[in-house]
Amino acid sequence: MVTDIHHVGIVVESLARAYRFWRDTVGLPVVREAIIADQGVRVSLLAAGASEIELLEPIGKDTGVGRFLAKHGEGLHHLCFLTPAIDTDLGALRARNVPLIDERPRDGLAGRIAFLSPKACHGVLVELATPVHAEPLPESPVRFKRIVIGCRDPQETATLYQDLFGLPEVEVNGGPRMMLGWAGGGTVLNVPAAEVGGMMGMVALSMVAPDMPPLIERLERSNVAMLVGAGEITVEPQSSHGVHLHISRYHFP
């Protein structure tokens, strides 16, 4: 069914402030921005390699995203899978009585989109998207690599994602973790909640960069709170709008 991770959605208080980090400091180019009135959000998609980062600012308190922000603060909100055929995929899920938010695809910033109920995926809000825009994504100095999901039982969650979306398993060196996704594309890493401070759902975002020194320089110049290790940066969530963000060195093929 699905062929890659299209984007990861992050709820922010202010798109203008979030741009200072995600666009100006990390360096992700803005692909498209719009107000989606029926969802009560100002939304922006930024290119991050073959996938995108979606920033969502509520335009009212009494909106889904406004309520999320009031309850959880800024941070990871949803995971969107790319599919070439959203009508077929959503129809198949509907026929299996998978709980959905959108019974029919609708227009979103990413193309034709639909949300499943978080009940369908152990509390993770999953969106499907079939793009309608044909232009290629602009180059970005940092690329999406992986979303980390804390779960009670990684194997059980992996089986669910394989069953609902046909996600292939990516080889991982044993242990209790389960990695799904696409070699050379986006991946989902399921880890036991105990490994991530008991947190369930989307807990961290991993990205890769081929050229670390200029990135570190930009992060330092913006006074970003981070730990710089050998070939890896860990950005503190207060600097990255509630997101536990890891960026590691990677040589693009």
User: How would you label 91-114 residue by residue, b for 16+ Cβ within 10 Å and e otherwise?
Assistant: eebeeeebebebeebeebbbbbbb
Tell the smallest beta-carbon distance from residue 78 to Co ion (Å): 6
84 vs 175 by CB, closer to Co ion:
84
Cβ 69 vs Cβ 3: under 8 Å: no
Give the residue nearest to Co ion (CB).
Answer: 9
56 vs 180 by CB, closer to Co ion:
56
Tell the smallest beta-carbon distance from residue 41 to Co ion (Å): 10
Token pair in block for residue 154: 């990684």
74 vs 127 by CB, closer to Co ion:
127
Tell the smallest beta-carbon distance from residue 222 to Co ion (Å): 26
Report the C-alpha gap between 197 and 192 in whole angstroms.
Answer: 10
Tell the smallest beta-carbon distance from residue 44 to Co ion (Å): 11
Cα distances (angstroms) measured from residue 239 to each of 154, 206, 227: 29, 15, 12
Residue 182 DSSP code: -
Tell the smallest beta-carbon distance from residue 246 to Co ion (Å): 21
Closest CA to 189 of 154, 141, 238: 154
54 vs 74 by CB, closer to Co ion:
54
- Interface with Co ion (CB under 5 A): 9, 54, 80, 127
Tell the smallest beta-carbon distance from residue 33 to Co ion (Å): 13
CA dihedral 228, 234, 236, 237 (to 10 degrees): 160
H or E stretch covering 91: helix 86-95
Tell the smallest beta-carbon distance from residue 170 to Co ion (Å): 23
101 vs 226 by CB, closer to Co ion:
101
Cβ 35 vs Cβ 41: under 8 Å: yes
Report the C-alpha gap between 52 and 29 in whole angstroms.
Answer: 10
109 vs 233 by CB, closer to Co ion:
109
Report the C-alpha gap between 130 and 22 in whole angstroms.
Answer: 24
114 vs 142 by CB, closer to Co ion:
114
